[in-house]
A = this chain, B = another copy of it.
Amino acid sequence: MQLTGNLLIGQQSVAGSNGTIHAVNASTGAAIEPAFGGATLADLDSACALAWAAFDSYRETSPEVRAKFLETIAQNILDIGDDLVERCMVESGLPRGRLEGERGRTVGQLRMFADVVRNGDYIGARIDPAQPERKPLPRVDLRLRHIGVGPVAVFGASNFPLAFSVAGGDTASALAAGCPVIVKAHSAHPGTSELVGRAVQKAVKDCGLPEGTFSLLFDSGRDIGQGLVKDHRIKAAGFTGSRGGGTALMKLAAGRPEPIPVYAEMSSINPVLLFPGALGNRTEGIAKAFVQSLVLGAGQFCTNPGLVLAVDSPDLDRFIEAASSALKETAAQTMLTPGIHKAYEAAVEKAGSHADVKTAARGAEARDDHQAQSALFATTAEAFRNNQQLQEEIFGASALVVRCPDLASMLELIESMEGQLTAALHIDDSDHAEARRFLPALERRAGRILVNGFGTGIEVGHAMVHGGPFPSTADGRSTSVGSLAIERFLRPVSYQDLPDALLPDALKAGNPLGLNRRINGKVQLAE
């Protein structure tokens, strides 16, 4: 499939004239053709105008039409075939297996949201019927549903060129919620973005939807991304990336005449807590599994286990030894972009030269300038507490083991930490009582708590929370992965005493959509 380098504005393919972006071969650093034209502010305005014009009719499409649209996007992505995987391998440096898996996840997410739309529970339909005889005052008829917040800006993520980019989680949940989407492509994978963007654009046409339902813009600088978040027609934004980038968007959004929510997923070091029983009984098994999780995808996951906490002990020495042996065997891996690779090298260099930090092990050496060598460091609880630097995320396959004097000080460390996406506890039965004491602190600090596993490998389901208190995300009240993600793009509207003919289908007396609805506060399942 031939790449054009064009913006996709509604059903148009438009040559961007505001500078150019070139993809870079992640393994060689060489620029790849074609050039992608950056969007102008006029292009941005066109996309926003189309999205705004599409909103009312798109949000009122029937569940079946909307579900079919999501399924058509999924099928159109599959129909690109191997061209997509190959282009994405070159742009991201990620291996085929990983990208085929990620494509499966992307398609799976879209199909899950099709089911969510058909199910209709996300509408949250509520009916408090009139009580004309109530004393002292009659009760009005009140009905409530949720509608989309409006057009949504989605920022592609460097580390998930498929599952969290053009047709990734944010796009799928926003489209499911009835919100048109404008994607700002990540400059690390413009070709992948165009291919997927065209699959979505075609699905809009295949399904006869208003063209403003979807647009894709390339940004040769920062004006388009910032302009999107500032545009009055954009009512929410989804972002996955750095803390600096995310907080900058949050500031822009809060400073608008009409502030909007930015759902930014930013940084997390994902503490792994090794409790004494498990550490003693399963030292080597845990160490090996930990290293596997650490180096997966060159460590470029937001749920990468960057921090290990345990009580200082001979068992912990054995753990560090076993993890070090395993880590030394790990191959260097190509990172997503030269910039990410450079930042990783600098951060690892800085950690390794810190006076209070010991380098436990490094992985196999890089075979070229774009590969990263994994790293395992160790320090003390005191040093960790006193050095903000040691608490910051190193994006890549690097972790820090903290030797704690006892479990009480380990809990104190947890209480001093910032918000996290995940926290993992490794426990045996004998550790239950101690683990229970940690749970309240972990619940306050993380979106997902897991036992005897690691946070990488995120199950896209109904009970998943991929979110957490700031700064792991902009705020912890929602998730970016799983079916609950649809809620971030919804708002409630109440209808009082509307004649049935004017009510939306979700709230009509005859329940034509066959929804589960809450009547006088109690859920009634559809027949």
Contact = CB atoms under 8 A, between A and B. Distances in A.
B451 A498 contact: yes
A104 to B, nearest CB: 10
A448 interface: yes
A241 interface: no
A476 interface: yes
Interface in A102-146: 115-116, 119, 121, 126-128, 137, 139-140, 142-144
B453 A496 contact: yes
B467 A492 contact: yes
Contact of A435 (B128, B502, B523, B525): B502
A90 to B, nearest CB: 25
A436 B502 contact: yes
A449 B523 contact: no
A462 to B, nearest CB: 4
Interface stretch (A6-14, A323-331, A514-522): A514-522
Interface in A496-523: 496-499, 501-502, 516, 518, 520-523
- Identify the interface centre among A150, A471, A492: most chain B CB within 10 Å of its CB: A492
A432 B502 contact: yes
Contact of A493 (B150, B443, B474): B443
Interface in A179-223: none
Nearest to A477: B491
Interface in A244-281: 250-251, 254, 258-261
Interface stretch (A76-84, A287-295, A345-353, A478-486): A478-486
A453 B497 contact: yes
A350 B432 CA distance: 69
Specify the main secondary structure of chain A where it touches its partner.
Answer: mixed
A439 interface: yes
Contact of A462 (B440, B502, B520): B520
A452 interface: yes
A447 interface: yes
A30 interface: no
A450 B143 CA distance: 10
A444 interface: yes
A462 B119 CA distance: 21
A464 interface: yes
Contacts of A478: 492
A34 B8 CA distance: 68
Nearest to A261: B475
A149 interface: yes
A484 B492 contact: yes
A338 interface: no
Contacts of A436: 502
A284 interface: no
A140 B464 CA distance: 11
Contact of A142 (B459, B496, B498): B459
A424 to B, nearest CB: 9
B494 A465 contact: yes
Contacts of A491: 447, 469, 476-477
A485 B525 CA distance: 23
A327 to B, nearest CB: 23
A475 B476 CA distance: 16
A251 B516 CA distance: 39
A523 B521 contact: no
Contacts of A137: 457
B497 A463 contact: no
B459 A150 contact: no
Contacts of A525: 523, 525
A237 to B, nearest CB: 13
B448 A494 contact: yes
A490 to B, nearest CB: 7
A94 interface: no
A56 interface: yes
12 contacts: A127-B463, A128-B463, A128-B464, A142-B459, A258-B470, A435-B502, A449-B493, A451-B496, A462-B520, A463-B518, A484-B492, A523-B525
5 residue pairs, one from A and one from B, having the closest CB atoms: A450-B496, A465-B494, A142-B463, A254-B254, A144-B463
Given A128-B461, A448-B495, 10 more contacts: A56-B444, A126-B463, A139-B459, A261-B475, A432-B499, A432-B501, A449-B493, A463-B518, A465-B494, A477-B490
